Amino acid sequence: MAELTMVEAIRTAMARAMADDPSVLVLGEDIGRDGGVFRATDGLLDRFGPDRVIDTPISEALFCGLAVGLGAQGFRPIVEFQFLGFLYPGLDQLINHASRLRNRTRGRLSCPTVVRSVWGGGIGAPEHHSEATEALMAHIPGLRVVLPSSPARAYGLLLAAIADPDPVVFLEPSRRYRSPREEVVDDGHPLPLDRCAVLRHGTDLTLVSWGATLGEVLEAADALAAEGVEAEVIDVSTVKPIDTGTILASVERTGRAVIVHEAARAGGIGAEIAAVLADEGLTSLLAPVARVTGYDTVIPLARLEHAYLPDVERILGAARRTMEYS
C-alpha cells in the first residue's frame, strides 16, 4: 500500500494491466519517451518497450482510428488525449466506429478501447485545456463514460475500464491530479463500473456530483453538518450509464437533491439526473431539484476560472434554499 496522487494511481493501474495482459498497450502524443504531458505514462516505455508504448504523430483522428482498429483485432489499447478539448478530431472514430462496432457486427466484433483524457478546469489553462463536455460523450449510444474523483477510485475504475469489452471514455480531473494523496493498494482489483459511490451518509439532503467538484461538495457537506443538516454525498463515477437506483434510493430517504457539476448548465448530465428524479422520484421530493453548474459560455481564461467553477458558497446557497423550501 502506498499514498499516491491520482496521476500516480492511474500510472500504477496501467502498469498493472500491462503486466497482467500482453494485449494491453498504450498510445498517444508524447506518451513514450516524454512520459506524457502530465507524466501519467512515465516509465512505461522503459518497462514495456516501444511495441507496447507507442508515440504517435500529432493527429488525434489518426491515433484514435488506430486504437479502434487495434481494439477490433484483439488488443486492449489505452489511447491518451492530452486534454479533452483535443479529443474532438477523434470523435468521428469514436462515434461512427468504436461505439457502433458491436451492434454493426451483431456481436462478432467489439472494441475494448479506453480513451483517456484530462478533463475540467481549475489549473488556469486556456479554454481548450479546461473543457468539461462529458455530456457530449454520454449522449453517444455504445460509449461508457467514467470520471474518477480520487486516487483509489481512479486506480480501480481504470482497471475496470481496461477490462471492459466495449469502448470507455475515461476522464481524469486535472485539478485533482496532484492532490490529495490517498492510500492505494496495487492489488489488481477493479472497482465496479456503472455504480455510484456513497462518500458520506446523511438523512436531510442528497448532494450529487462527480469528478473534481466532489472536493467542494464534501467541504460544503461538512459546513452543512455544522448547521445541523446531514447531507448524503454521492459520487456518480459513471455518467453513462448512470446508476439511477442509488440516487433515487438516497432521495427517497432525504427528500431533497442538489446536483453539482462544472460543465455548462444546458444539456448537462445534471439535467438528465433531474429528469430521472422527476420521472421516477417525484413523490419522494419535498423541494424542487436544484443544480449548481458552470455557465453556458466558454470557460474563461486563467484568472477568471474561479468565477465559472462551482464553489462551496454556491453549493451551500443551493442547499440552504432547498432545505428552506416548503
Catalytic residues: 129
DSSP class of residue 38 equals T
CB burial readout 186-217, b (16+ within 10 A) else e: eeeebbebeebbebbebebbbbbbbbbbbbbb
Residue with the three cell numbers 490529495: 180
The DSSP line for 224-288 is HHHTT--EEEEE--EEES--HHHHHHHHHHHS-EEEE-SS-STT-HHHHHHHHHHHHSGGG-SS-
CA distances 229 to 232, 245, 254, 307, 317, Å, are 10, 23, 11, 26, 13
Count the residues in the chain: 326
**Taking CA 306 as the corner, what is the angle to CA 204 and CA 321, rounded to the nearest 5 degrees?**
25
Residue with the three cell numbers 481494439: 71
